[in-house]
Structure 1
């Protein structure tokens, strides 16, 4: 498997060279002489939507074309992916995907497209740790307190996700496997809908991405119990990792990547890759992604394609080992 750290090392020299070529690439062909769409497989207000709108704003200036975000939530982010896969292959339809739709859902759902063949990788946007959150008005202040309550009432606790096969779903099942506890999965059409029920106490917890949960955490609505990544988040330095809380084997992060329709002209793919690199180097974009708890790793098209394939295979193994089925 190709690790994020190794990809970052391999990308360093390529990105240095790319920096010298951006000015020349800025004159290369645009994706298409028409408005550009960024498809999002989640509801407005969630982490994917937030990032898509950041990209849309910056791309509009860089490409000198209108760029709009279209939300098509449902089916574990695959509705938006399907629309992108079957769009005209001119680079005008983009998909801001997560590993939910690219690496997990294909192993659970019958799709009318091949995520590895019908979607052209452009680049990695950000990697976000997932975070175990509960209502700030609830009684649980640590993972141990939550686990003890779950043990006393087996099968009565519910965890939310943004859909079947999402990284939130995978995180919840990994937590169940690692602890030997049992909680019930409650899927929603996007994180923002799940947030309402967590705050209201209708659902007990969620293994959400920091990008969508951070606003509720900073707003005092959510209490963050642990991040599900190998190390603590820079934006949540006082929140321990699950491993620090004694739960191992439940490391799950959410990555966001940009794709377009397979078969798009090479010049358009190169132009989009250059535009993404330019955007991710902007101080205000870096600050926004950091504020969401994320990390930026600039990869070439080829490196991101390798990562996408490796993640597809890794999550396929996790789905089989956990016995996860579409509900």
Structure 2
């Protein structure tokens, strides 16, 4: 045997022996979790509804978890940047995502995504619930929904409604309303709710279906008229605004919700601990009041299985509706 070969083998033997003496790497036990700050990614920019909800629940989670809970913004691309941030993080229970259910039920119909909405996203808990409010510019000559419908019919082809993204619920609910009420309003799509609302208040587009959280301040200040809400019941923040069901349109009541989501592979004991802490926080009168002040309601105690079922049903309804108008994704 050549000297070099003997030396190499001897060195390898020493390295193997040394490695065998080291303690085996062990995954962190769920019972020890968390031992460092937990991150909540938000698939929306700072200052919006998702940001407010994320900071509210981050504060509520810190005490039961015993660690700081940090809100980290990953806005853009209809929320898919937030999803990518979640899926690229270690599956160790230190990274979660707060986002609307539309990320799984609507966005995959609108644009090509690199994730499977039913395999890569696990809803842990439903935090808030809301419907869409039909709002209009102050100058509209209509005091209620019946008068609004009559006005639109008297001006065929002249009335449009703004929405916060082509192919998303804010547009397709307008398609449904047109069909149910026999109207011909056109859709004008914007990149988000704020610019659309600005054009409605400015009189450039007369109508919009919007989430109460963003339109509520303008409704209360008189800068917008509210005609009806697509939700199973009236909400505390707008007690005088009737539901579409009350007004004869029971199909316009789908519930949108915001939740905390996990990537697959996170230890189930950690997910359960987070879910239990969230459900407890949702029982707080202070939390409920803050969420109601945003024009929403506190989420239900629906299980992950029930939430997945709801998302899939919404996904299928949205897909069917978009196919009926021959919608083409980007």
Same fold (TM over 0.5): yes
Q: CA deviation at 1:102?
A: 1.6
1:213 aligns with one of 207, 212, 215: 215
Give SS of 2:253's match. coil
Give SS of 2:288's match. helix
**Greater RCO structure (CA 8 Å; 6+ sep):** 1
Moved more, 279-288 or 228-237: 228-237
Decide which structure has the larger Cα Rg and report it: 2
Q: Deviations over 1:263-293 (max 9, x none)?
A: 2222321222122112211111111223323
Task: Show the 5 A alignment for 1:14-29.
Answer: 28-29=31-32
2:319 aligns with one of 296, 307, 316: 316
1:127 aligns with one of 110, 126, 129: 129
- Taking structure 1 as the reference length, the TM-score comes to 0.80
1:268 corresponding residue in structure 2: 270
Please say if residues 41 and 74 of structure 2, whose CA atoms lie closer than 8 Å, have aligned partners that are also in contact: no
1:159 corresponding residue in structure 2: 161
1:298 aligns with one of 298, 301, 324: 301
Q: CA deviation at 1:209?
A: 1.8
Q: Which runs of 5+ in 2 are unaligned?
A: 1-29
1:30 corresponding residue in structure 2: 33
- Taking structure 2 as the reference length, the TM-score comes to 0.80
Q: Which runs of 5+ in 1 are unaligned?
A: 1-26
Task: Show the 5 A alignment for 1:106-145.
Answer: 106-145=108-147
Q: CA deviation at 1:202?
A: 2.2
Task: Show the 5 A alignment for 1:53-64.
Answer: 53-64=55-66
Please say if residues 46 and 190 of structure 1, whose CA atoms lie closer than 8 Å, have aligned partners that are also in contact: no
Give the Cα–Cα distance (whole angstroms) in 1 for the partners of residues 76 and 157 of structure 2.
26
Q: Decide whether aligned partners of structure 1 residues 82 and 189 sit closer, same or farther in structure 2, where only a CA change above 3 A counts.
A: farther
2:232 corresponding residue in structure 1: 230
Q: CA deviation at 1:155?
A: 3.2
Give the Cα–Cα distance (whole angstroms) in 2 for the partners of residues 198 and 32 of structure 1.
49
Q: Decide whether aligned partners of structure 1 residues 152 and 39 sit closer, same or farther in structure 2, where only a CA change above 3 A counts.
A: same
Q: CA deviation at 1:235?
A: 3.1
Q: CA deviation at 1:105?
A: 1.8
Q: Decide whether aligned partners of structure 1 residues 136 and 68 sit closer, same or farther in structure 2, where only a CA change above 3 A counts.
A: farther
Does 2:253 correspond to 1:251?
A: yes
